Each structure stands twice: as structure tokens, then as C-alpha cells.
Structure 1
Amino acid sequence: MSNLETVTFNAHELPAAQQQLLTDFQISTSIGFYDDVAEAAGEQTYREIAAAHRLRCTMVFDRSAQAPSRHAAAPVHTYASFPGTLNAGGQHPVALHKISAVTVSPTHRRRGILSAQMRDDLAYAASQGFALAGLTASEATIYGRFGFDVASRQIRFTLKCAGGLKLRGQLPGSVVDIDPVQFTDQYRDLASRAQQATFGSVDGALYDEGYALGRWDGYETLAKPKQMRFAAAYDERGILDGFITYKFAGWDQDPARMVVHKLIAVNPAARIKLLSYVANHDLVEEVHASGPVDDPLLVLLEDPRSYSVRSLEDVLWLRILDVCKAFSQRGYQNQGTVVLDVEDDLGFAAGQFLFEVGTDSVDIRELGSGEKVRPEVSVFALSARELASLYLGTTSLERLLAVGRATHTQGSNVKNFAKLFDTTAEPFTLHGF
């Protein structure tokens, strides 16, 4: 029988004498994701990143495990969370409880370890005032049962550019090669403005900054990457509006290609300028990159067939913890009055909620026990998972009704009122975590 013990600590409060706990967490997380294990320099970098992120780390140990089992000393489960923000289209970013580094050893799966940890951590997040939790998932079938659903997607694409990329028009401004060592302050300002300008984006943390500026190649080893190139875009007034990190894939690749490592921009023009700049390098025949589902680059390509989608991927998953608080902070393009009747196995979002959204006002409240809904008000019943998919308009209520993932239980003029949660823009998340 297992004898499980849970250890939780805050990386930014961990005494020097206990830093080995964080190293053990890092190593176990790397093993859980089949990654290489960092050497001493990477361990020190991880400590700095974890402290800057204010990482709250949890490890579960099986104290009944005996040598030669690795778990005689190493945890069977890792889990981390840290505070962030999300651009949900409202006046201000919404506080977001970010979840990361979730692993369970193959020897200890299907024992309820993750379920117990997820319940505990979401309760902790709710107690700290977070209305939203979010994550990026390595597996798509795990988190739906905890009330998460896809909130943003991205495409990975190939841009054919042999002989130079041809656009249907010229974009104002310029692109400049950048020395990243001298670019930290400018990058931080740009990253903040890019989040403000990008519906669906989370804030960038220290890890994202170092990844963009070429200080490390990823969480795996946190080693310095080789042969990275950097460029910045400026508008016609000379104001920085975009930044790109990219790398030549090597002469053994056929066709010869550039691979985009990181791209952030405050507007579509800056993004297109940077991609065009990379595509017009001598001898390069393709650019491999990722971008928003509604990529504006397609509008300007002289040859739209030069752009091919390799994959469509989910990026951000969301979970609603406080319906009234979360939905009162997002933006709305439509007006109306509806009631959502939410079922939530974990209890956080369960209840009936009245939404009254006007041109300049948003009023959301939970209906009291026995409180009657006016006959003319449309009522829709759905689960917490479907509720999460509505938050950034990733899925429309009309579509949920059409496929039976939501039901209309009262009221008329269903089609009009179902549009209350629709958005005009496709969400795009600049940073994974």
C-alpha cells in the first residue's frame, strides 16, 4: 500500500538550506515530460525563474517506496501554480491562476493523485480571490473533467518564400537587427503593450523574456541556445511595435528554412513586417512559424498558396472559479439579459446566474434559492466546462445548443440572446506556460 505525503512550498520564500527541494522538483518535472535534466547552471537559473514567478510548488511522495525504486527519494507527482493576468477584452487584465509542471509517474497513475491535487489547488486559488484558473495542456483529454476547456488556439504554418516573399502592398516603418543584451527594457515595454493589444493573451513572465532574448532554449536544460537571430520592427514614427527571435534550421534541412522561436507584436502590420523580413533572407525557401487562427498575413500575400497550415493546436485552457467576478471583467460586443444555469461537479461555478449586459453596464449576480426568473428571460443550462469555452468566445452558445452541450429551458428569441457571449476577435495567446 502507498503511503503518500504531500509537500508544498513557495519558491520565493524557500530558505537557502532547502533549495534542494526546488532542484528535486525541477528534475522530477523534466523526467515527467521526457526532457533532459538541467546541469548546475540550469538549476541556478531555474531557481531564479521560480522565485521571480512566485511559483507555488507541490510534490507528492510515496513513503512506502523502497530502493531501487527511484521514488524512494523522488516524488511521484509534481504540480506548480503562479499568479498572472489575462486580456479578456475588458478595461483591465483579469487575474489568472496559472497552473504548470503537472506530472504523475507512470507507476502511480489512476490513483486519484492529480484529482485530489487539482481540487485542493483550485480551492486555494478561489480562497486567494482568483476568478479564473488557466493552463496549457500537453494532453487534451485530462482537464475537461476538472471544468477546464479550450479558450484559445494557434496554427503552425509553413510560408514558402523561395526567391523572396511578395506582398500585395508595402507596410510603413522599418525592421532592425537587434543585440538582445541591450534590449531588455525595450522588450519588457513591448511585451506589456503586446498583451494589452492582444485579446486572449496572458502576461509574459521572466521565463518568456529570457526565451525571447536568447538567454535559454527552454525549460528542459535552460542552456543558452546557439545561432539565434533577433530583429525589431518600428512604425513610421520610429516607435517599437514588434520583436522576433528566429534561427536557421541548418543546411541539412531541405528545403532551407528559418524557424521562428518567438514573435510578439502590438499590431498585425508589425507581425507581417517581421515575418516578411525573415522570409526575405538569402537562400531561404521556407519559414516555419505559429500565429493566430485568423492570421492577417493571408490578406497581404501575393500568392496565398505560399501559406500552408501544418496544424491547429489548443494553447490556453480556462476554468471558471467565480462566475460573477470573471464574467463582469471580460468585454462584451452584444447586449442582452440571460440566465445561465451552471452545473459544476467541483462546486465553484454551480448555480443560476443572471446576466444583464447593456451598452455601458455589466451586472451579473447569482440568483437566490427559490428566486424566480422573469418569463421573458431566456435560461440556458450548461456545465462548468462549457461555461469556460464561452469566456473568450472560443465556442458560441449557439453552437453549444446545436450540438447538445447546452440546453434552452425558458424564454424566446433564443438565437439573439445566445449571441451575448460572442466576440468579434479570435483569441490568441502569446505565451504558453
Structure 2
Amino acid sequence: MASTTGFTVRSARADERDEIFRLSELSFGMRMGPAEREYVPKVFRTERALVAVDGDRIVGHANDLVMTVTVPGGGSVQASGVTSVVVAPTHRRRGILRAIYTELHARSEAAGLPLTIFTASEGTIYGRFGYGPSAVVDEISVRGRAAQFRSTTPDPGGVEVVSLAEAKIRVPQIYDRWRRLVPAAQAKPEARWQQRVFAPAVQQEGGSPLFFLVHPDGYAILRRAWSSEGKNTATVHELRAITPEAHAALWRVVLSLDLVDTIEAEISPHDPLPWLVTDPRLVRVTGRHDTLWTRVMDVPAALTARTYQRDLDVVVSIEDPFRAAGGSFALRVRDGVAECERTDRAPDAEFGIDVLGSLYFGAHRARVLAAANRIQVKDPAQLRALDEAFAADRDAELGWFF
């Protein structure tokens, strides 16, 4: 796509990979290690990327991968997972980001993808393109060996410390079972496992190699590191539990590690960990951040793909400031199953398509968004119905960072 402001958006070429890497490193402020350079093109093919070009220089970039994403109720949809969205600092305020997103969204619409998702480095940019934050995690810190489990907390056992070779076989299989149950979690490509978990370079990134704790229904991946002051921190990079028993068993092992001063991890907002121990204050929340942003590309396709917690009969008016996905839609739910179609009926509720993205996986509640004036509903009963219907049985969680 040619531009009147001196740049062109086109598909990238394989021989431009190094230039794209340099722009990404500058924009995100980090070096790409050997594992990233080897495996990123296997996950996100360079030939699928879009670049903005000014003369012979790449001044903007974005790429995507068609992902399988779990929705509330255990079904799944195909989504465009967008990554590495960058604009060169030399070319700000020229419409490059808008031009790239216009092309990305047109491609998603042509492919019939109901959703576009991504992990955002900044929270002020993407609302104008119709994205809303749609999954959240709490960062926690626990003092080593301080947390004691309640007498009523199960001690199911079954956790093993396994080798890297065994983890390569067992962990991805457990992950795939887990992600099929969890809203917002995605299928993970084998190359991504290599890039961020199993590659030799990852084992040497600082501190100890990665350790793998495996239960038949869950796993934990962690690393230990000593500070210059002689303090040891165990960082849980990933803990996935399919059942409550696996969750309790894995945390029992993690919290009993010897010679650990601090355990750091990320958990979902309603994780039961604080309620498993005698003093919930020891599971100290040190931060909270969004992990996923979602834009609905096709309202009827997206809303009929998931299930709902209660019956619903409502007309929603959805504003789309960037594309043509908005309009008024009649949403009818019976026994969890939805029908949705465009309508000329007067709306019962009005909100932006970014708000619909925030509601979609159940991470954010309609009543909270209405209190912030992000949803306008005249009838309190309709608001309660929306709030209850869009809830989910499990917290939305990002499966893997991209």
C-alpha cells in the first residue's frame, strides 16, 4: 500500500530479517539471543510480516500468526496473533502504525478470523484500533519456607523432578490439555517451546538452568539465582495445573524449596494459592498487569463461538472507530448457546468494540465497565444479565507470550 507521506507498506522479504531484528531491538530495548534469532522465524515467518519502507530503509514492522485460542466453554476460535509492532523513532507521527494495522486487519477480515490478539508493550495506543485488555495476572512474592499449608489443604503428591529430555516429552502434552480448558490460552507451536524453554541458550540465561517439576496433571518450570548479597530467588516461569490437586501438589513443592529467600511468580487474579496457606498475607501481590489485548473482528462469529453463564436476550450497539465491525446486534442466549445477528432494533446497551474485547474472555466484568461509563445501559436488570452472562468458569490466562 503506497502512502502520501513518503512510505510504503508491503510484505517483508526473507533477506530483510536482520534489518527487522535491528529495528525490533532498538524499539523494545533488548538484545535478541541466539535462541530467538534461530526460532522466531520458525514461529513468525518473515515472509508473512508487513514492513513500512521509506526509500530502502525499513521504518515500521508487524507480523502475525494464525493461532488457535480457547474461548469460555472450552471451544476455540482462530485468531490473528500480532507481534513485534514497531515504528522507527525517526518516523513518528507519520501514520505508519495506522497504515500497518489497516493492512493487518484487512488480511484478518479476508481470512474470516473472528479475533485479533496481541501482547501490548504500552496501554495507551491500541484502544483507538478497537483493542481492549482481556487477560490479567498478579505478580506475587513469597518469603521462602515461610508459608505453611492449612491442615485442610490436600497433599496429593505425585510431583517429580524430571530431566530436560523428559520435560521435552511430557510438558508440552500437559500444556495442550491445560490450554483447552482456559479462556484466552493458545495452542503453542513446537518451535516456541524450543525458543523459550528447551533451547541450550535458554538454560544459560542466568542463574541456574531451568528446573522442571511434573505432575500427571500439571507442571512448573523454575529457575534459581543468587544475588551479590548472597540472597537466593526462585522464579517460577510457568506453572500450569489442570486440576486443583495438581495445583496444590506443585505449590507444595515450590514453597518447600531449601535455601530460598524469595519465590517470585505470576498467578491469575482468582488463583486459590492464598487460601491454601495459613497466612494469605504471605502471598504478597507486588504488581498487576494485563497480558493480552483483544479486538473482535466479526461480532456474530466471535459471540456465537463461546458459551455463557445465563440466558440473555439483549440488543447491543457496538461502536468501531477503526473498521466496519460495529453496529447493532441482537444477542440471544439459551442454555449457554448464543445466536447473534445484526438488527435495527433499539439497543439495550451501548459500548465500544474495545470494551467487547475486554468482556470476551471473562476477565473483566460488565458491571465494573459500566461503573466507569464504558458501558451505557438504561435498565439495571439488563446490566446484571450482561455481567453474569459474560463471566467464565476459569480465569482468562495468556498461554504464551508473543
Question: What TM-score do you get using the length of structure 2 for normalisation?
Answer: 0.90
Q: Which residue of 2 aligns with 1:189?
A: 173
Residues 310 and 336 in structure 2, CA contact (< 8 A), matched pair in contact too:
no
Q: Which residue of 1 aligns with 2:128?
A: 145
Q: Distance in 2 between matches of 1:336 and 1:46?
A: 43
Q: Which residue of 2 aligns with 1:400?
A: 369
Q: Which residue of 1 aligns with 2:144?
A: 161
Q: Distance in 1 between matches of 2:129 and 2:165?
A: 42
Q: Distance in 1 between matches of 2:84 and 2:345?
A: 44
Q: Distance in 1 between matches of 2:112 and 2:209?
A: 40
Q: Which residue of 2 aligns with 1:178?
A: 162
Aligned pair count? 397
Partner deviation per Cα, 1:23-72 (whole Å, 9 max, x = no partner): 32223212221112446x75333333434xx8721221211xxxxxxxxx
Q: CA deviation at 1:188?
A: 2.3
Q: 1:196 and 1:253, CA in 2 relative to 1: closer, same or farther beyond 3 A? A: farther
Q: Distance in 2 between matches of 1:84 and 1:422?
A: 23
| Letter matched to residue 27 of structure 2 | G
| Letter matched to residue 391 of structure 2 | D
Q: 1:349 and 1:341, CA in 2 relative to 1: closer, same or farther beyond 3 A? A: same
Partner deviation per Cα, 1:374-428 (whole Å, 9 max, x = no partner): xxxx61111111121221223333333333222236x683344333323344322
Q: 1:408 and 1:163, CA in 2 relative to 1: closer, same or farther beyond 3 A? A: closer
Q: 1:412 and 1:28, CA in 2 relative to 1: closer, same or farther beyond 3 A? A: closer
Residues 320 and 326 in structure 1, CA contact (< 8 A), matched pair in contact too:
yes
- Correspondent of 2:64 among 81, 85, 105: 81
- Correspondent of 1:210 among 194, 214, 227: 194
Q: Which residue of 1 aligns with 2:214?
A: 233
What is the 5 A alignment of 1:404-423?
404-408=373-377, 413-419=381-387, 420-423=389-392
Partner deviation per Cα, 1:291-318 (whole Å, 9 max, x = no partner): 1111211111122221101100100100
Residues 98 and 134 in structure 1, CA contact (< 8 A), matched pair in contact too:
yes
Q: Which residue of 2 aligns with 1:47?
A: 41
Q: Distance in 1 between matches of 2:288 and 2:395?
A: 14
Residues 186 and 400 in structure 2, CA contact (< 8 A), matched pair in contact too:
yes
Q: Structure 1 stretches of 5 or more lacking a match?
A: 10-17, 64-72, 235-239
Q: Distance in 2 between matches of 1:300 and 1:55?
A: 49
- Correspondent of 1:309 among 277, 282, 285: 285
Q: Which moved more, 1:184-193 or 1:324-333?
A: 184-193
Q: Which residue of 2 aligns with 1:29?
A: 24
Please state whether the residue corresponding to 2:210 is helix, strand or coil. strand
Q: CA deviation at 1:253?
A: 4.9
Q: 1:32 and 1:215, CA in 2 relative to 1: closer, same or farther beyond 3 A? A: same
Question: What TM-score do you get using the length of structure 1 for normalisation?
Answer: 0.84
Q: Distance in 2 between matches of 1:341 and 1:97?
A: 24
Residues 198 and 266 in structure 1, CA contact (< 8 A), matched pair in contact too:
no
Q: CA deviation at 1:340?
A: 0.5
Q: Does 1:354 align with 2:338?
A: no
Residues 145 and 257 in structure 2, CA contact (< 8 A), matched pair in contact too:
no
Q: Distance in 1 between matches of 2:367 and 2:146?
A: 46
| Letter matched to residue 198 of structure 1 | V
Q: CA deviation at 1:176?
A: 1.1
Q: CA deviation at 1:181?
A: 2.2
Q: Which residue of 2 aligns with 1:388?
A: 357
Q: Distance in 2 between matches of 1:170 and 1:336?
A: 38
Residues 5 and 94 in structure 2, CA contact (< 8 A), matched pair in contact too:
no
Q: Does 1:61 align with 2:63?
A: no
Residues 207 and 226 in structure 2, CA contact (< 8 A), matched pair in contact too:
no
Q: 1:55 and 1:137, CA in 2 relative to 1: closer, same or farther beyond 3 A? A: farther
Q: 1:31 and 1:335, CA in 2 relative to 1: closer, same or farther beyond 3 A? A: same
Please state whether the residue corresponding to 1:44 is helix, strand or coil. helix
Partner deviation per Cα, 1:1-44 (whole Å, 9 max, x = no partner): 963133314xxxxxxxx6432232223212221112446x7533
Q: 1:297 and 1:164, CA in 2 relative to 1: closer, same or farther beyond 3 A? A: closer
Q: Structure 2 stretches of 5 or more lacking a match?
A: none
| Letter matched to residue 215 of structure 1 | A
| Letter matched to residue 210 of structure 2 | R
Q: Distance in 1 between matches of 2:232 and 2:37?
A: 35
Residues 214 and 225 in structure 1, CA contact (< 8 A), matched pair in contact too:
no
Q: Distance in 2 between matches of 1:397 and 1:37?
A: 40
| Letter matched to residue 194 of structure 1 | W
Q: Distance in 2 between matches of 1:271 and 1:209?
A: 22
| Letter matched to residue 259 of structure 1 | T
Partner deviation per Cα, 1:103-147 (whole Å, 9 max, x = no partner): 111111111100111121111101101010001101111111111
Q: Distance in 1 between matches of 2:58 and 2:311?
A: 50
Q: Distance in 1 between matches of 2:283 and 2:265?
A: 11
Residues 147 and 344 in structure 1, CA contact (< 8 A), matched pair in contact too:
yes
Q: % of aligned pairs identical? A: 23
Please state whether the residue corresponding to 1:346 is helix, strand or coil. coil
Q: Distance in 2 between matches of 1:46 and 1:423?
A: 33
